[in-house]
Amino acid sequence: KNEVEQSPQNLTAQEGEFITINCSYSVGISALHWLQQHPGGGIVSLFMLSSGKKKHGRLIATINIQEKHSSLHITASHPRDSAVYICAVRSWGTGSNYKLTFGKGTLLTVNP
């Protein structure tokens, strides 16, 4: 079982819909990242959080440390939001290396 599990693996939505992508992890973490990857490979960091909730534009990320669960929400989705969304964690016990363990990603397609 992977340390980081994302659901769903694939998600298709209509423009304007509210999107939720979930991430569950099995280890104690010091930080969780949400990343966006467009076709072609480049990865952009959306959020880094260790507690609570963060908001940036139409994107909202929440984390529940006790339940080892995080969600990424997209409000008023748009076709340009189509991408792979990846959850990554920095687990306790990695010392000072801060390396990330990644989920497999969620492929989001937003149709006009």
Partner 1 sequence: DTGVSQDPRHKITKRGQNVTFRCDPISEHNRLYWYRQTLGQGPEFLTYFQNEAQLEKSRLLSDRFSAERPKGSFSTLEIQRTEQGDSAMYLCASSLIGGSSGRALGNEQFFGPGTRLTVL
Binding site for partner 1 (CB under 8 A): 4, 31, 33, 35, 40-45, 48, 86, 88, 90, 96-105
Of 69 and 102, which CB lies nearer to partner 1 in the complex structure?
102
Beta carbon of residue 80, minimum distance to partner 1 (angstroms, whole number): 18
DSSP strand pairing (59-64 vs 29-37) = unpaired
Beta carbon of residue 111, minimum distance to partner 1 (angstroms, whole number): 22
DSSP strand pairing (83-91 vs 29-37) = antiparallel
Beta carbon of residue 36, minimum distance to partner 1 (angstroms, whole number): 10
CA-to-CA dists, residue 38 to 57, 62, 89, 105, angstroms? 19, 22, 20, 11
